[in-house]
Amino acid sequence: VELVESGGGLVQPGGSLRLSCAASRSILSFDSMGWYRQAPGKQRESVARITSAGSTNYADSVKGRFTISKDNAKNTVYLQMNSLKPEDTAVYYCNGRGHIDYWGQGTQVTVSS
C-alpha cells in the first residue's frame, strides 16, 4: 500500500494550505485515516483523523482551523489548514490504519513571514 502526500510548502502566518494524501487502494479498506505531524526535535503527534464512516476528531491545537475530509471515489484524504501559525511548521504525514499502520513519506509545511 502506498500513501502519497502533496500540497506542502511555505506560507505566511494566517495563510492556508490544503494537503492531499492519495492511496494506492480503496481508503474504505482502512478503519480510519489521519494526519500526523513532526516538528524538529519533537515527537510525532496526531493532528486529525477520519473514520471510514466519516467521523472526525482533531487535536486541540488545530480545532477550528483544520478540517479533514475524504473523497472515497478518488481514494484521497485531505487536510485543509487555515489560519496557519508558525507553530504549525512540521513535516506532515498521512496515516492509514487497519490491521497495521501505513505511512506516507511526509510533506513539509513551513509557516513563516
Taking only the tens place, the pLDDT of each residue in 23-62 is: 999 999 999 999 999 999 999 999 999 999 999 999 999 9
Confidence of residue 72 (pLDDT cuts 50, 70, 90): very high
| Residue 35 exposure: Cα atoms within 13 Å on the Cβ side | 35
DSSP string of 44-62? Answer: -EEEEEEETT--EEE-TTT
Q: What pLDDT does 24 receive?
A: 95
Mean pLDDT of 59-77: 97
Partners of 58 in the beta sheet? 48
Mean pLDDT of 73-94: 98
Confidence of residue 70 (pLDDT cuts 50, 70, 90): very high
